[in-house]
Amino acid sequence: MKAKTCMAAVLMAHAVLARADAPAATNDPENHGAYLSAAFGNGRIHGGNASGYRWMRGRTFEVRAGRRQDDVFGLALPPAWAMRVDFVHYNEGHPDNNHRDGFALQWLVVHRFSRMWTGELGVGPYLSMNTTEVRTEAGYRQIDDARLGALVSAGLRLAVPGPSGTHLRLGYNHVAMHTVHRSDALVLGIGRQFDAAEPAPDVVPDGRLWLGGTFGTSITNMAGTHGAHAGVIEARQYAERWGIGYKFLFEGDDGARVDRRGLAGQLWYVQPVTPRFSMSAGLGPYFAANRRDGNRTATNLLISFQAERALSARTRAIVNFNRIKTFRKTNDRDLFQVGLLRRF
């Protein structure tokens, strides 16, 4: 939980910092500018497997990174209307026996009511992971329950003083999930709509090989474990807005369930925010052996959410959040890391 909260705070800071290289937001039909926001709040679960205390204990939060478009398949939208596609990490807090979070891909319509007020409505698939206990013939067993549902969101944005496009955002999220609990929550945070940006000429990530490493912490999403030190060695190549990455992960030992290491390959989508700052999301298979499970080798899914800052033409600082999903209802893990990439 601490790692994910730190990631939200870092991305919020990047979303609202004034940067000399960030152009002002406009409503130009060619604008494909990035959108960033982070928000915290509270909510309640209901139905399905909900039991005990159903409030989220004030630990609800979301982080959004998106791309705005003012046209649909080349057709301009009416004035004051736009659309956006967001990649969302959503955490539904800590009701009793249900600690669910996950990743959503949302399509949103955005309408500007006035100079100060903007509304938005979005929906999309939501891949969730819930740490919970279930009853079996042998007694209660803790699992990481993965399910696919829908995340429906509405937002109201109020422009505030600061860099162009900065706003407060009041959001409502509804999670619909078949056979298990649903949830409703209100979140309040800050965000920024950026104008279209391309990498600065001196930091364009061409097709050359980038090598680097990151270091941080790992948390197993099950009780009876502790945090561990984790490291990643990475090679990556970029092709405009896309990238391919290869990683060797050392997840560290949680003292009870997981001491895993292995190789991963990921496809990345990169969204420039300013000429030197970008956000990216990666997805791919992760082949790893767990020393605390007799070196059993398995195929997992690695989902990554990353911020990159070009320090020079050959060096990039990165901050990322990684989710390892096993799909065996056990031993899912979160990694929060910082590091550098160097072009060769």
Task: Say if CB 250 and CB 277 are below 8 A apart.
Answer: no
- pLDDT single digits (tens) 163-182: 999 999 999 999 999 999 99
pLDDT at 71: 81
- List the beta strands (DSSP E) in 93-227: 99-112, 117-136, 139-159, 166-176, 182-193, 210-220
Phi, psi dihedrals of residue 263, rounded to the nearest 5°: -115, 140
Q: How far apart are CA 192 and CA 16, in angstroms?
A: 6
- pLDDT single digits (tens) 290-311: 999 999 999 999 999 999 999 9
DSSP string for residues in 199-224: --GGG---SS-EEEEEEEEEEESSTT
Q: Does 340 or 134 have the greater pLDDT score?
A: 340
- pLDDT single digits (tens) 127-151: 999 999 988 777 789 999 999 999 9
Average pLDDT over the chain, rounded to an integer: 90
Q: CATH number of the domain at 201-343, please?
A: 2.40.160.20
Helices and strands per DSSP (H, E), number in the chain = 1, 18
pLDDT at 26: 42
Q: How far apart are CA 285 and CA 287, in angstroms?
A: 7
Phi, psi dihedrals of residue 276, rounded to the nearest 5°: -120, 0
Half-sphere exposure of 156 (CA within 13 A, CB side): 4
Asked whether residue 228 carries a pLDDT value surpassing 70, the answer given is yes
Q: How far apart are CA 200 and CA 220, in angstroms?
A: 39
- The pLDDT confidence band at residue 101, using thresholds 50, 70 and 90, is very high
Sign of the four-CA dihedral 201, 206, 209, 215: positive
Mean pLDDT of 76-104: 95
* Rounded (10°) CA dihedral 198, 11, 336, 107: -70
Domain with CATH 2.40.160.20 in the chain: 2-193, 201-343
Asked whether residue 48 carries a pLDDT value surpassing 80, the answer given is yes
pLDDT at 31: 61
Q: How far apart are CA 273 and CA 199, in angstroms?
A: 9
- pLDDT single digits (tens) 170-226: 999 999 999 999 999 999 999 999 998 888 989 988 788 999 999 999 999 999 999
- The pLDDT confidence band at residue 73, using thresholds 50, 70 and 90, is confident
Share above pLDDT 90 across residues of the chain, in percent, rounded to a whole number: 80
pLDDT at 30: 42
Asked whether residue 28 carries a pLDDT value surpassing 50, the answer given is no
Q: Does 3 or 80 have the greater pLDDT score?
A: 80
**H/E run at residue 16:** helix 2-16
- The pLDDT confidence band at residue 15, using thresholds 50, 70 and 90, is very low
- pLDDT single digits (tens) 233-250: 999 999 888 999 999 999
Chain centroid to Cα 79, Å, comes to 30
Fold assignment, 2-193: Porin (2.40.160)
